[in-house]
Amino acid sequence: MAWTDDVTSVQRHLARYVWALRWCRGKTVLDAGCGIGYGTALLANVCRGVEGIDSSREAIIVAQDRYGPPPAHGCMFWHTSIEKHTPCWSYDTVVAFEVLEHLENMEAGMEKLLAMTKEALLVSLPVNSGDNPYHHGRNMSVADCDAFMEGRGDVLDLCYQPLYVTSHVEVRPRPIENPDNVAHLLYVVWKGAV
């Protein structure tokens, strides 16, 4: 069985955004590393306002063309990186799916994301194994990802996506059934009032 194809990859991304919806309902949201914006557009259906940023100028051009500007879809897109993004306000919820592992300094990127977050930071990190062809430049195990996230705040939700998918793509709650069958780990770091 092949690890993934383009359709499955998009399904994995969309499953993460569907999982994020409950944390974005009625909130101001930043989608950091938004790519071509389909996840940002999905979040726009439930949030009060959403902005997407990406370091790829080409991706932002596609996102703006397809999903912006308001009021068509309610999305604003900016060509900038996490490190250079200087918003005039902080966001209720920040979504950072498969972006931290691309940064030269993951620690600094995480601190910047936390600084922009008022309530919930949603992060996904890929787990690299010999079967995982992602080009993230880092080989992180489940334990490595958990160690990186440790001490970041109150982690409310721990989920994962399986590596091999047979019938549908999903986000599953932990505990992990088979550590060798993990593609992505998902975390919610809560900073808001209890």
* pLDDT tens digit sequence for 91-117: 999 999 999 988 989 999 999 999 999
Domain ranges within the chain, ordered by starting residue: 6-190
So what's the pLDDT on residue 24? 97
pTM: predicted TM-score of the whole model, two decimal places: 0.90
So what's the pLDDT on residue 193? 64
So what's the pLDDT on residue 88? 84
Residue/partner pairs of 151-154 with CB below 8 Å, 24 or more apart: 152/110, 152/114, 152/121, 152/189, 153/114, 153/121, 153/189, 153/190, 153/191, 154/189, 154/190, 154/191
Report, as an integer, the average pLDDT of 65-94.
86
Q: How far apart are CA 56 and CA 125, in angstroms?
A: 19
Provide, rounded to the nearest whole percent, the portion of the chain with pLDDT above 70.
86
pLDDT-derived band at 62, boundaries 50, 70, 90 = very high
Q: What is the CATH number of domain 6-190?
A: 3.40.50.150
- The two three-digit tokens of residue 87, written as one number: 């918003």
Q: Higher confidence at residue 14 or residue 168?
A: 14
At residue 86, what are phi and psi to the nearest 5 degrees? Answer: -125, 80
Spell out the residues 6+ positions from residue 169 whose beta carbon is closer than 8 angstroms to its own.
8, 11, 12, 14, 15, 161
- The two three-digit tokens of residue 147, written as one number: 């160690």
Note whether 12 and 184 are within 8 A (CB): yes
